Amino acid sequence: MLTKRIIPCLDVKDGRVVKGTRFADLRDAGDPVELATRYDRDGADELVFLDITASAEKRRTVVELAARVADVLFIPFTVGGGIGSADLAGEILRVGADKVAVNSAAVRDPAIIGEIARRYGSQATVLSIDARHVADHWEVVIDGGRMPTGRDAVAWATDGVARGAGEILLNSIDRDGTKLGFDLAFTDAVARAVAVPVIASGGAASAADFVDLFARTQADAGLAASIFHYGELTVGSVKDALMAAGIPVRPRERAFA
């Protein structure tokens, strides 16, 4: 059985890690390189860096940050935010990132998914989906949660995989920063619909939330931010709880292997 992954997420704005609730009320959480080093040491399986304002401000993703992070990390990391072309994706990958995540730009021009996958491989192509629950489905929203699209999130995930995405990162805006637990229904609906790994994000508050995620859905990874940034929970404590529940994870002492 494949091991489940624990992934800290670092939302970056103006070179600093920030965290808020439902993509608003942002507060500083520290230096991204310092936090990355700490999570690497603590046994995180991967890291995700998202420039949360890049799409709205039409700003380049922080290529320089990716290069700085690559100098200190021994674990894989993904960079997303404002990636509007395969050329920019390639630049980020060349400075050391293992994957790139496309979000708003892919909704506007779905062909970018296939172009990145064709040039750099599906394993380096992540489709990041921000969504909120509307009536009887989950609706894709873009530009940091500010613009609804009318697009069904499960159908969009399926389409993205067909176009070449090798992984799906689900961001539940309804749960983001609320500490109400992962949106299990949303996560499982997408995980059952696609044949690639699915990362669940939004709402984690305790190790028990990660246990529920993996026991009750087909998610491959759980992602969280504030609970790790502010020391409310450690990657190690989450892995201990998962192992106690019989859920396979990579041991902390082997995190650098």
Where would I find the beta strands (DSSP E) of 93-173?
99-102, 125-134, 137-142, 147-152, 167-172
pLDDT at res. 231: 86
Whichever domain contains 112, its CATH number is 3.20.20.70
Catalytic residue among 11, 45, 51, 188: 11
| Domain with 97 in it | 5-254
Residue whose token pair is 């520290």: 30
Tell me which of 130, 176, 183, 188 is the catalytic residue. Answer: 130
Nearest one of 36, 30, 35, 7 to 17, comparing CA atoms: 30
Whole-number pLDDT of residue 58 = 43
Number of neighbours of residue 185 by Cβ within 10 angstroms:
13
pLDDT band at 257 (very low <50, low <70, confident <90, very high): very low
Maximal C-alpha separation, the chain: 46
- Interval 196-225 mean pLDDT: 96
130 flagged as catalytic: yes
Between 11-15, 32-36, 70-74, 129-133, the lowest mean confidence (pLDDT) is in: 11-15
Q: What is the mean pLDDT of the chain?
A: 88
Question: pLDDT tens for residues 82-120?
Answer: 888 999 999 999 999 999 999 999 999 999 999 999 999
Beta bridge partners of 105: none
Q: Considering only residues 228 and 254, tell me which one the structure prediction assigns the higher pLDDT.
A: 228
Per-residue pLDDT, 177 = 79
Instruction: Indicate whether 256 pLDDT > 50.
Output: no
Residue 253 has pLDDT above 80, yes or no: no
**Residues above pLDDT 90, as percent of the chain:** 66
Query: For residue 254, what pLDDT is reported?
Result: 43
Across 175-185, average pLDDT: 91
pLDDT-derived band of residue 255, with 50, 70 and 90 as boundaries?
A: very low
DSSP letter string over 151-213?
EEHHHHHHHHHHHT-SEEEEEETTTTTT-S---HHHHHHHHHH-SS-EEEES---SHHHHHHH
Q: What is the number of alpha carbons within 13 Å of residue 68 lying toward its C-beta?
A: 13
Strand partners of residue 137: 134
Our count of domains for the chain comes to 1
Tens digit of pLDDT for each residue in 124-179?
Answer: 999 999 999 998 899 999 987 788 999 999 999 999 999 999 999 999 999 987 88
Q: Return the half-sphere exposure (C-beta side, CA atoms, 13 A cut-off) of residue 229.
A: 23
233-252 CB burial, b ≥16 within 10 A, e <16:
bbbbebbebbeeeebebeeb
From the CA atom positions of the chain, what is the Rg in Å? 16
Q: What is the mean predicted confidence (pLDDT) over 26-44? A: 82
